[in-house]
A and B are shown apart, each in its own frame.
Chain A
Amino acid sequence: MAYEIDGKVIEHDEEGYLTDIAQWSEPLGGVIATKEGLAMTPEHWEVVNFLREYYAEYQIAPAIRVLTKALTKRMGAEKASNKYLYDLFPYGPAKQACKIAGLPKPTGCV
């Protein structure tokens, strides 16, 4: 179970989350997104980049509410909804965006 990029093999778990999150790169994020059937736009990257910034500080992905609030501050009120995030990441913003961002899957009753 691995992604291939520039001749390098990068392992992932059964669901496509990276085994070693340090191996993430932006091009790899693009490869994961393609496997998820998503074409990345600047709006997708805005979310992915915020997730990575938050993770670097707190070792966890942000709550959906924290994410929508941050996007509102950066990109305007029309980004302030759960629906907007689901439109970008149909499988669920927390899980699918984390996978593309190379972060661990949020677990529990979520």
Chain B
Amino acid sequence: MADFVPPPLWPEIGLEPVPSPEDGLMAACRPFVAAPAHNQALGFPGELVEDWETRAVARLGELLAGNRALRVYLDACVGCGACADKCHFFLGTGDANNMPVARQNLLRAVYCRHFTPAGRLLGPLAGAGRLDRARLDSWYGYFHQCSQCRRCSVFCPMGIDTAELSMAAREIMNSIGLGQKYCNEIIGKVYAIGNNLGLPPPALADTLEGLEEDVRDESGHDVRFPLDVRGAEVLLVTPSADFFAEPHVDGLIGYAKVFHQAGLSWTLSSYASEAANFGLFIGSVEQMRKIALRIRAAALDLGVKRIVFGECGHAWRVAHAFLEELAGPFDFLDPRYPRPQHIAEITADLIRTGGIRLDPDANAGMVVTLHDSCNVARASRMGDEPGGQFTLPREIVRAAVPRFVEMHPDTTHDRTFCCGGGGGLLTDDLIELRIKGARPRMQALKQVVEQDGVTHLCALCAICKSQFTKVLPAYGFDREMMVSLHQLVGQAIRLGTSSL
């Protein structure tokens, strides 16, 4: 499987010129369709049902009835074009349907035809259209070229959230038996085994035991990686990639060292061994709830007092915004920590209060820039202050490394560009899209590498880390530039009492 090789990055300093939109450039780009077994494991029809058009329209009607925001987003677009050049997939591909307004219109046309008087009366003159086979194919292709990152919504004067439309479209497609293999196979693994990776409990136990050995050999300290320990204070829920991939594992080692040094008892759960919740990506509240309930069950079973999330962007969105509604009430938790916390909140607080000390010299030579992950940046908060989701990770990086550099302000904070692999697109069958979609971020990275000597790119999301590890070489960067936020912490933290 040969990787797509992109043209060289724009040689000038600054962001690339916006491409002229062209129709159909990415029309052939579509992820593998889920097999019947993948769909059925989630309760969806195995294959495209015969009366799919009728059923899809009916499902859209149900979604409209249950979600007023969806109707507002479909009604409110004035076609101003402010979103057009804000999507990394449009900037990277030039495909006209990857302009957010055009992507929205794929769904809006069907809404207009069946749910508005103008659409019923005037049809195409009002922008209305049937969900015929060609349109269904466009839905499948282009709603899987949206990473639900919500950058466009930051610039939309009407506040339209394209991610909500892309989630609704995917939910409708699942309801008629047209699921995406990557997401649905993975959700099935969570139900069957407990995590996206399909890592069974004995393998998880073996992996954690190995990490204890490694950390002992490397640091001389007995840092534990506890699994299924009843009565622990903290349940850590983290993406299963943290048990498997690089540099994710180095982040997990960082969390363990922080808990160790702070004297906080903690445990992982083999039942809830996954923070990710791909139910969000496919727009299914029912799947989101089933996955979220595993965390509740594990927390109750283990008798923990706090729930802490590791470095996973969309998991933090779900935890921060939806967990109480999906799987609450969490009235059994310590009243001082009634909501799930992010590991970065804990680490930043410990740095501020002197509970842990970091030695930036341990990361000598590193010049680090931070990629704000989209779900953390635009769909969550950390700490008590507005903008904490931006300031806390930066505080941690600054404390852990000798030099921190910001990328172009149009590409950070709430204007951050998606890595190109979010929203259920981190799959090899979409590699060309992923490489093209990463281009705006790579352009901003190139600038700080050349101007400021940046050596490392830091992120706090498993998808971002895997995506960048994959696409950095396509743009001439070393894949080992990619680091986890808590990898920096783990390398810089002073362990033991003598160092305090």
Chain A interface residues toward B at CB < 8 A: 14-16, 36, 58-60, 62-66, 69, 82-83, 86, 91-92, 94-95, 104, 106-110
Listed by A's residue number, 11 A-B pairs whose Cβ atoms lie within 8 Å are A15-B1, A58-B203, A60-B197, A60-B198, A60-B199, A62-B207, A65-B211, A92-B470, A108-B196, A109-B312, A110-B462
Inside 8 A of A82's CB, which chain B residues have their CB?
A: 246, 480
Give bound CA distance, A92 to B185, whole Å: 21
Output the nearest chain A residue to B241 by Cβ-Cβ distance.
A109
B197 and A14 contacting across the interface, CB-CB below 8 Å = no
- For the residues of A in contact with B, the DSSP-based class is loop
Give 15 new A-B contacts, CB below 8 A, not counting A63-B245, A66-B207: A14-B181, A14-B429, A58-B203, A59-B200, A64-B244, A65-B214, A69-B214, A82-B246, A82-B480, A91-B1, A92-B470, A107-B197, A109-B248, A109-B312, A110-B241
Q: Mark B196-212, 1 if CB is under 8 A from A, else 0.
A: 11111011001100110
B195 at the interface (CB under 8 A from A): yes
Contact of B198 (CB < 8 Å), options: A36, A69, A95, A104: A104
Q: Mark B128-157, 1 if CB is under 8 A from A, else 0.
A: 000000000000000000000000000000
Shortest CB–CB separation between residue A53 and chain B, in angstroms? 13
Inside 8 A of A106's CB, which chain B residues have their CB?
A: 197-198, 244
Shortest CB–CB separation between residue A58 and chain B, in angstroms? 4
Contact of B462 (CB < 8 Å), options: A36, A59, A83, A109: A109
Size class of the contact patch on chain B: 35 or more
Inside 8 A of B428's CB, which chain A residues have their CB?
A: 15, 95
Output the nearest chain B residue to A59 by Cβ-Cβ distance.
B200
Inside 8 A of A107's CB, which chain B residues have their CB?
A: 182, 185-186, 189, 196-198
Shortest CB–CB separation between residue B36 and chain A, in angstroms? 14
- For the residues of B in contact with A, the DSSP-based class is helix
B82 at the interface (CB under 8 A from A): no
B239 at the interface (CB under 8 A from A): yes
Give bound CA distance, A55 to B120, whole Å: 57
Q: Lowest 9 A-B CB distances belong to which pairs?
A: A108-B196, A58-B203, A109-B462, A109-B241, A110-B245, A108-B197, A63-B244, A109-B463, A60-B203
Chain B interface residues toward A at CB < 8 A: 1, 3, 32, 181-182, 185-186, 189, 195-200, 202-203, 206-207, 210-211, 214, 239-241, 243-246, 248-249, 276, 312, 426, 428-429, 462-463, 465-466, 470, 479-480
Inside 8 A of A14's CB, which chain B residues have their CB?
A: 32, 181, 429
Give bound CA distance, A15 to B312, whole Å: 27
CB-CB under 8 A for A64 and B196, given A15-B1, A59-B203: no
B1 and A108 contacting across the interface, CB-CB below 8 Å = no
A108 and B429 contacting across the interface, CB-CB below 8 Å = no
Q: Which of A36, A69, A83, A109 has the most CB of B within 10 A?
A: A109
Inside 8 A of B1's CB, which chain A residues have their CB?
A: 15-16, 36, 91
Q: Which of B189, B246, B470 has the most CB of A within 10 A?
A: B246
Inside 8 A of B276's CB, which chain A residues have their CB?
A: 108-109
CB-CB under 8 A for A58 and B239, given A63-B244, A66-B207, A82-B480: no
Output the nearest chain B residue to A95 by Cβ-Cβ distance.
B428
B246 and A65 contacting across the interface, CB-CB below 8 Å = yes
CB-CB under 8 A for A108 and B203, given A65-B214, A91-B1, A95-B428: no
Inside 8 A of A58's CB, which chain B residues have their CB?
A: 200, 202-203, 206
CB-CB under 8 A for A108 and B195, given A36-B1, A65-B246: yes
Shortest CB–CB separation between residue A19 and chain B, in angstroms? 10
